A and B are shown apart, each in its own frame.
Chain A
Amino acid sequence: MGLLKLLRSLKKNEKEARILVLGLDNAGKTTILKALSEEDISTIMPTQGFNIKALTQDGFKLNVWDIGGQKAIRPYWKNYYENTDGLVYVVDSSDEVRLKECVEELQSLLAEENLKNVPMLVFANKQDLQFALDAEEIMSHLQLMEIKDRTWTIQACSAVTKEGLQEGMEWLVKTISEKK
Chain B
Amino acid sequence: MSTQNNPNQGYNSTPDLTEEEVQRISDGFKIISMKMKNAATGEVLWQCDDWNLREGEVKDVRFPKKILECSEVSRELVFQSGEEIKYFQLLQRIKFHGQEIESLYFRFGFVIPGSTNSWDQVIYADTEGMMPAEVLSGNLVVETLFMSGDTVVHRSFYRIFYE
Please list the residues of chain A having a beta carbon within 8 angstroms of any beta carbon in chain B: 2-4, 34, 37-40, 48-57, 59, 61, 68, 73, 76, 79-80, 82
Contact = CB atoms under 8 A, between A and B. Distances in A.
Interface residues of B, number: 28
A73 B116 CA distance: 12
Given A48-B112, A73-B112, 8 more contacts: A4-B40, A38-B42, A48-B116, A53-B122, A54-B119, A56-B5, A56-B123, A80-B110
Contact of B121 (A3, A48, A54, A73): A54
Contacts of B119: 52, 54
A85 B32 CA distance: 30
B38 to A, nearest CB: 9
A62 B115 CA distance: 23
B4 interface: yes
Nearest to B41: A38
8 contacts: A37-B74, A48-B115, A50-B112, A52-B118, A56-B123, A56-B124, A76-B110, A82-B109
Considering the complex of A and B, which 7 residue pairs feature the smallest CB-CB distances, nearest first?
A49-B115, A38-B42, A79-B110, A49-B117, A39-B42, A48-B116, A55-B122
Contact of A4 (B5, B72, B116, B120): B72
A56 B109 contact: no
A79 B110 CA distance: 6
B5 A50 contact: no
The CB with the most chain A CB atoms within 10 A, among B44, B72, B111, B116, is that of B116
B39 interface: yes
Interface in B31-51: 37, 39-42, 44
Contact of A76 (B41, B74, B112): B112
Contacts of A82: 109
A160 to B, nearest CB: 15
B49 to A, nearest CB: 12
A37 B39 contact: yes
B96 interface: no
B11 interface: no
B160 to A, nearest CB: 20
A39 B114 CA distance: 26
B109 A79 contact: yes
Contacts of B44: 40
Contacts of B106: 54
A49 B111 contact: yes
A50 B123 CA distance: 20
Contacts of A39: 37, 42
